[in-house]
Amino acid sequence: MRLDAVYRRDPDIVFRKISGECILVPIRRRVGDLDNIYTLNETAARIWELIDGRRTLAEIRDALAAEFAVPVQEAERDLLEYVAALRACAAVKEGPA
């Protein structure tokens, strides 16, 4: 994955905060399929918010490092791992919004 790449969220995935938990819910798939509902930790939720079709992965990495006060290498590792997971479940696509 290139750090100069830009990703956009799939519009069929909805982000919700419910009782302090952040979840992603696909809205165009089978409603009863709970395997397609994803609970996000604080870092994953922030990454989801930052993926907007305008920011590069490098910009998101730098924002994470600053906001969470972690080394850039750690922020990059977490970001790339999470974006790979989002790509695998088709929640994000490469390219501008």
CATH of the domain at 71: 1.10.10.1150
41 contacts 50 by C-beta, under 8 angstroms:
no
Question: Using CA atoms, how far apart are residues 44 and 76, in angstroms rounded to an integer?
Answer: 13
Which pTM value belongs to this model? Answer: 0.86
Residue 2 lies in a domain: no
- Total tally of structural domains belonging to the chain: 1
65 contacts 71 by C-beta, under 8 angstroms:
yes
Please report how many Cα atoms fall inside a 13 Å half-sphere around the Cα of residue 35, on the Cβ side. Answer: 3
Residues of the chain below pLDDT 50? 34
Residue 53 lies in a domain: yes
Domain region containing 46: 7-92
